[in-house]
Structure formats: C-alpha cells, structure tokens
Chains A and B, each alone.
Chain A
Amino acid sequence: MIQNNPVGRLIAHVILIIGILIVAFPIYYTFVASTQTLQEILRPPLSLLPGGHFWENYSAALFGGVGRIGGVGVDRLLFNTLVMALGIAIGKICISILSAYAIVFFRFPGRMVFFWLIFITLMLPVEVRILPTYKIMVDLGLIDTYTGLILPLMASATATLLFRQFFMTIPGELVEAARVDGAGPWRFFKDILLPLSKTNIAALFVILFIYGWTQYLWPLLMTNRNDMSTIVIGLRKMISFADADTEWHLVMVTCILAILPPILVVVLMQRWFVRGLVETEK
C-alpha cells in the first residue's frame, strides 16, 4: 500500500535503465567494433550501430589464425578454455563430493584433522604461493598441458564445505533405512545421495565453470606455447599499443567470443547460478 507511488516507480525504472546502459555499454561497444574494419576502429568516434563486416571478421578470427599469437586460430583458444573450465568444474565437483561424503557419513580416526586440512586451503589462493607452485609444475613437467591447467585448481574447500553442509541436513533415518534394506555405502551414494544432490551440483557447476573460464594468473604462468593458451591469455597477447600492427578488429571479435559462452551459461542457467552464488558464500 505504501508502494503505490507511480512517480517513484517511474524514477526507479529510469535509474534501472541507466544502470543497465552502464553495465551493457562496454560489451555493446566492443560488439559494434567487432563488426567494423580495422581502419574504422582506428578512427574514433566509432558509429554506435554495427558495421557490415560481421562474417568477415568472425570467420577470419575463428578459422584464419591470428598473426600475433603465432597463427593460432581463436577456435583453438576456445577449445582450450572449454577443456579447462569443464575440467575444473567436473573435477572439483567429483573430488569434493567424495570427500564430503567420507567426512559426513563415516566415522574414522583423523576425520576432523582431514576436514581442517581441507578447510584451511580456503586461505591459500594461488596468488599467495605462485612461485613455489610454479616450480612444482616445472618439476612435474606439467607446463603446457591440460593437466597442469586443471589439476591444481581442482582442490578447494568451498565445494567440499557446500556438500558437507547439504549432507548434514539429510536425515539419519534415510541412512538407517538404506542399511536395513542391505544397501552398502556405494549403493547409498549412487541411488540416494547423488539424486538428492542434483540441484546443488547444477548450482556449483555454473559457478565453477565461470571460475575456470575466467582464470588469468594461473594459465598465464602455465602456458608458454600459443596453441595451449586460454582465450583470455591469447587475447592479452594479441594486444599491443606500442606496435602498429595490432589487428584490433580481430581483438574485438576474440573479446566477444571470450565472454559469450560464460554469459550464456549465466543467463540460461540463471536459477542455478543465483542459488549457487548465494549458497557457496554461506
């Protein structure tokens, strides 16, 4: 009854639309630039309507190979990034659902010690231990490999904590009933726990996929070869303000292609995304 103020609502709409313009404009501008020729981009101000070179630029970047990154095509970069994001998301979910299962549904010596060992890793982001971690990767020969890109980012406490929290809400009667019916731990996990965890897994998957896709420091250190680069690192290598030969129209295309997949995931899986975001931070 107090919200019955049409003028206030109109102002709210106006502010929200301005907010959306601020949020969307940098992306829209880059999209417009990605459909222009190099000469048009270098002569500001740019027109605010898309140009006519959409197919030309996109097929050149995707399949033609980009000179500044050793002729590697953007398709290859997209593939590498997809492998990395999927590897991190799936790997993380697998190892943390198993360890949470062990911690909640079994009693064994050292249980809490292990829990704390995992928990403390929350406090050790890659950034605070980059050099020694890098040295280990060199010693293990994991530079320029998918394993090197994925494995170290797979372990983290967040996912384990989330599953643990969820498992603790599962009533003990369920376990008891399963045991009375003669189901072993594996049967219980597969037929009862996994189906119950479906929404949690979906929510976590969205968050982790984006986490993997947007990594920067780690792939920067782990990849030397251009054809093992992720798209964000490849993009960084394509840009130089000092040299006149930066192919800006291809840079813009790569930029759009780099942000499109995670944006689609967020928008299409919005329900799980919002849930995952709020849950993982609890």
Chain B
Amino acid sequence: MASSTRVTFPNKFLPYLLLAPQLAITAIFFYWPASQAIYQSVLREDPFGLSTQFVGLDNFRRVLGDPNYLNSLQVTVIFSVATALIAMALALLLAVMADKVIRGKGIYRTLLIWPYAVAPAIAGMLWLFLFNPSMGTLAHLVRSAGYNWDPLLNGDQAMVLIVSAAAWKQISYNFLFFVAGLQSIPKSLIEAAAIDGAGETKRFWTIVFPLLAPTTFFLLVVNTVYAFFDTFGIIHAVTGGGPGKATETLVYKVYNDGFVNLILGDSAAQSVILMIIVIGLTAIQFRYVERKVHYG
C-alpha cells in the first residue's frame, strides 16, 4: 500500500477526537446490539421475562428444525431469485436498447431512473392499488377476462405481486450499471466481429454478454442483498407475510417473532443466522471487487 509513505500530520490526540463521533455511534448502535443478539441467541427466556437460562445452541437447533423457518427460507430464495432475475433481465434489455439509439438517450435515462427514489413500501402500495381485487383497475381487467385473481387470498398470486413491485423498483438501479458496463466495452471489438460477419444477436451473446460478466455478477449480489433486506417494507405493507405464510421472508419472520410474537431467543438466533448470510454475501462481493481491480 502506498499509504505507508504518505505525508501526515504529527498530532497525537486530534485523530482520536476526529474518530470519536463515528466510533461512539458504531459502538452503541452496532457492536453492543449485535453482541446482545449473539448473547440472547444462546439463552432461553420464559414468556413472562422472569427468568433466563443458558441453552447453548438449542435455539439454533429449534429454529433450523422448524418447518415454518424452512418455509420462510424457501420463500426468501424464490422471492430473491425471481426478483433479481426479472429486474436484471429487463434492465439489461433496456440498457442494450438505450446503447443503440442515438437521439433521446438523456430523456430515456431520466424517465427510467425515478423508481429508484420510490421507497420499497410505496412501490408495493403502487402495485397494490393497480392489482387489489376490490378497486384495482388492472385487477378488474384480469378478472373480467375470466381469471380468478385475488392476491389477498392466493399465496402464489401474492408472491407474483410482491416480486413485480420489488423488481419494478430495482430496474432503474440495474439499468444505470448496465449502461455504464456497456459503455466500457471497446467498440472496436464489436466492429471487428461485425466485419467477420457476426449478426447482431451473435455479437451480443459471444462478445457483449461475456464482457458484461463482472457487472452482471456484481448486480446479482447487490440484488440478492436488496431482495433479502430492503424489501421488508414491501412485504409488511402489501401482504403482511400472508396469505398464510406464503410471503413470509426471513427478515419478516425475525421481525414477526421478535416484535409481534415476542419469542426473544428464537428471534435472536434468526438474527445471528441472518448476520452470517450477510457476511457471506459481503465477502463474495469483495472478492468480486478485487477481481475488478485486476481487470483494470
């Protein structure tokens, strides 16, 4: 690292003073609660909060053996994969098209990026307004076409609704990154392939798509993290985890068990499992970042 030879200021106390605000907040609101979560995850508290006892990994064993937990794990995986794939595929299509047009690029970009600013919970509500069976205009159309549409009662349809809302919100983010990725592909490569007689579709799959792989992989991780955590608002506002437990994701279950059902030990154990998942995803992301540096 070049920073070892950096010119610096000689002060002894000033740097600690400068770091103090961030470290204080980090200690109080990050490290203390995180360690509490780990501590509580090995304790069992009776329902009245009168006594606690150490139970080792019992909470984890119970959580991981609980069919409800496994259900919500499955729900989370389906939801995340569907959201990431749809949001990325649509964004890639739009980015490739935006790369092609000559006039109106700026206008298209402006009109495509605003869902980024919409809160996930509100994105969910917008879709609910369109598709709820009592007053949604699109739901009305679907039903008058003879299809029995009711996301408030049918679990699969509820899933379709929240995936649509979650993917809709994420398109703009992915679009911007794909546009940047496409711009960094040398035009000469594509022209060379064109001279060799490769058609447009072939050029895309053999040159453009492989060269976009770093962007695609990066977005895959980001979209997974988004689908895991940031979509809590969509689920809380639109389905409340229902109908039944058809849309109860892991994060929603932590919230529900901790704040609604007040099962502290289980909720803490679930928090710790989530922490491990985040650490895994972050590690993957950073490995990728290292690779990108090598590409130059």
Categorize the interface residue count of chain B.
35 or more
Segment with Cβ contacts to B, from A53-61, A63-71, A197-205, A213-221: A213-221
CB distance from A88 to the nearest CB of B (A): 12
* Complex Cα–Cα for A184 and B30 (A): 33
A182 an interface residue at 8 Å Cβ cutoff? no
How far does the alpha carbon of A221 sit from the alpha carbon of B258 in the complex, in Å?
12
B25: which A residues are within 8 A, CB to CB? 95, 151-152, 154-155
Interface residues of A, CB < 8 Å — how many?
102
Q: Is the CB of A15 within 8 A of B37?
A: no
- B15 an interface residue at 8 Å Cβ cutoff? yes
On whether the beta carbons of A15 and B117 are closer than 8 Å, the reply is no
A175: chain B residues at CB < 8 Å are 6-9
- Which of A11, A29, A121, A132 has the most chain B CB atoms inside 10 A of its CB? A132
When C-beta atoms are compared, the residue in chain A nearest to B229 turns out to be A127
Kindly identify which residue among B33, B108, B258, B275 contacts A136, using a CB–CB cutoff of 8 Å.
B33
Counted as pairs of residues, one from A and one from B, with CB atoms less than 8 Å apart, the total is 296
Cβ of A1 and Cβ of B137 under 8 Å apart? no
CA distance A118 to B40 in the complex (A): 24
How many angstroms between the C-alpha atoms of A15 and B90 in the bound complex?
10
Main secondary structure of the interface of B (DSSP, over half): helix
Verify B40–A132 contact, CB threshold 8 A.
Answer: yes
Cβ–Cβ < 8 Å partners of B206 in chain A: none
> Which residues of A lie under 8 Å from residue B229 when comparing CB positions?
125, 127
Cα A278 to Cα B97 in complex, Å, equals: 21
Q: How far is the CA of A155 from the CA of B26 in the complex (A)?
A: 6
Inter-chain CA distance A248–B137, complex, in Å, is: 14
B243 on the interface (CB 8 Å rule)? no
CB-CB < 8 A to A43: which residues of B? 135
* Interface residue A83 (Cβ < 8 Å from any Cβ of B): no
Question: In the complex, which of the residues A9, A118, A124 has the most CB atoms of chain B within 10 Å of its own CB atom?
Answer: A124
Answer yes or no: A208 CB below 8 A from chain B CBs. no
A interface residues, Cβ below 8 angstroms from B: 1-3, 8-9, 11-13, 15-16, 19-20, 22-24, 26-27, 29-30, 33, 41-46, 94-96, 98-99, 101-108, 111, 114, 117-118, 121-125, 127-136, 151-152, 154-155, 160, 168, 172-173, 175-176, 179, 184-185, 188, 210, 213-217, 220-221, 232, 235-236, 239, 241, 248, 252, 255, 258-259, 262-263, 265-267, 270, 273-274, 277-278, 281-282
New A-B pairs, 4, CB < 8 Å, besides A214-B118, A255-B122:
A23-B115, A105-B9, A136-B28, A267-B113
